[in-house]
Structure 1
Amino acid sequence: MSNLSSSAKVALAGEALAGKPVFIHKASDVVRLVNNSDHARNNAQIVMAIALGGVFLDAYDLGALAFGIKDVAREFNLTPAWTGIVASAIMFGAIVGAAIGGYLTDKIGRYRVFMADMFFFVVAALACAFAPNQYVLAGARFIMGLGVGIDLPVAMAFLAEFSRLRGRGNKAASISLWCPTWYAAISISYLLVLLLYAVLPQSHTDWLWRLILGFGAVPAIIIIAIRSRYMSESPVWAANQGNLEGAAKILQRSWGINARVAADADSQPISRVRRARWGNYGALLKGVYLKRTILATVIAIASSFAYNAVAFGLPVIISSFLAQSMLTTILVSLALNLLFAFTGGLLAVRFVPRFGAWKMTTLGYLFQFLALTGLALTGRPDSTAEATLAIAMLALFLLGQGFGPGAHSMTFASLSYPTSLRGVGVGFNQTLMRTSSTVSLFLFPLLTASLDTHVFWIIAFAPLVGLLALLLIRWEPSGYDIDAEDFTDK
Structure 2
Amino acid sequence: MSTITANDPLPQQAAINSAVRHLVQNYSPKGNRVGWLMMASILVEAWDLYSIAFVLIFVREQYNPGPLELGLAAAGTQGGALIGALLGGWMSDKIGRRWMFLGTMTLFVVLALAQAFVSNMTWLIIIRFLLGIPLGSDISTGYTYIMESMAKGQREVMGNRWQFMFAVGEVLTLGVIALFLVFDVDHEIVWRVVLGLGALPALIILVLRHDVPETAVWLVQKGRFKEAKAVAQQMYNDNLAMLPDHDVVLPKPNPTAFIADLRKDPVRWRATLYGWIACFAQGSEFSTFGFYLPVLFTMVGVSSTLGNNLVTMALFCLAAVSGWVGPMLTPRIGHRGIGIAGFAIVLVSLLVAAAALYTDHKYILPFAAAGMLWGHYWDASNCMTIPTMVAKPEYRGTASGFAYMFVKLPSFLAIFLFPSLFTAIGQANATLFVAIFPLIGLLAAIFILPEVYGYEHD
Normalised by the size of structure 1, how large is the TM-score?
A: 0.83
Residue 184 of structure 1 is matched in structure 2 by 168
Structure 1 stretch displaced more, 424-433 or 130-139:
130-139
Q: Contact conserved, 1:244 with 1:261, CA < 8 A, in 2?
A: no
Q: 1:454 aligns with which of 423, 429, 432?
A: 429
Residue 116 of structure 2 is matched in structure 1 by 129
Offset at residue 122 of structure 1 (A): 0.9
Offset at residue 362 of structure 1 (A): 0.8
Q: Are positions 1:175 and 2:159 aligned together?
A: yes
Residue 293 of structure 2 is matched in structure 1 by 314
Offset at residue 471 of structure 1 (A): 2.2
Q: 2:20 aligns with which of 31, 34, 38?
A: 31
Residue 55 of structure 1 is matched in structure 2 by 42
Offset at residue 446 of structure 1 (A): 3.5
Alignment of 1:243-322 (within 5 A): 243-255=224-236, 257-261=237-241, 264=244, 268=248, 275-277=253-255, 279-280=256-257, 282-283=259-260, 286-288=263-265, 289-319=268-298
Q: 1:374 aligns with which of 339, 352, 356?
A: 352
SS in 2 for 1:68: helix
Offset at residue 135 of structure 1 (A): 4.5
Q: Are positions 1:222 and 2:204 aligned together?
A: yes
Cα distance in 2, alignment partners of residues 79 and 119 from structure 1? 33
Residue 419 of structure 2 is matched in structure 1 by 445
Residue 463 of structure 1 is matched in structure 2 by 438
Identify if the C-alpha distance between structure 1 residues 30 and 436 changes in structure 2 by more than 3 Å, giving closer, same or farther: same
Offset at residue 286 of structure 1 (A): 3.4
SS in 2 for 1:479: coil
Cα distance in 1, alignment partners of residues 65 and 271 from structure 2? 44
SS in 2 for 1:259: coil
Aligned residues: 445
Cα distance in 2, alignment partners of residues 462 and 442 from structure 1? 17
Q: 2:386 aligns with which of 397, 406, 412?
A: 412
Offset at residue 108 of structure 1 (A): 0.9
Q: 1:211 aligns with which of 193, 197, 220?
A: 193
Unpaired runs of at least 5, structure 1: 4-24, 485-490
Q: Contact conserved, 2:271 with 2:452, CA < 8 A, in 1?
A: no
Aligned residue identity for 1:208: V
Offset at residue 134 of structure 1 (A): 4.1
Cα distance in 2, alignment partners of residues 319 and 417 from structure 1? 44
Q: 1:100 aligns with which of 64, 87, 91?
A: 87
Q: 1:233 aligns with which of 194, 209, 214?
A: 214
Residue 361 of structure 1 is matched in structure 2 by 339
Q: Contact conserved, 1:302 with 1:466, CA < 8 A, in 2?
A: yes
1:347-404 Cα offsets, whole Å, 9 max, x none, are: 122111222111111111111122222233344455xxx555443332222111112x
Q: Contact conserved, 1:284 with 1:425, CA < 8 A, in 2?
A: no
Identify if the C-alpha distance between structure 1 residues 258 and 425 changes in structure 2 by more than 3 Å, giving closer, same or farther: closer
Q: Contact conserved, 2:262 with 2:391, CA < 8 A, in 1?
A: no
RMSD over aligned Cα atoms? 2.8
SS in 2 for 1:310: helix
Aligned residue identity for 1:223: I
Q: Are positions 1:336 and 2:315 aligned together?
A: yes
Cα distance in 2, alignment partners of residues 453 and 74 from structure 1? 25
Cα distance in 2, alignment partners of residues 447 and 136 from structure 1? 25
Identity %: 25
Structure 1 stretch displaced more, 436-445 or 108-117:
436-445
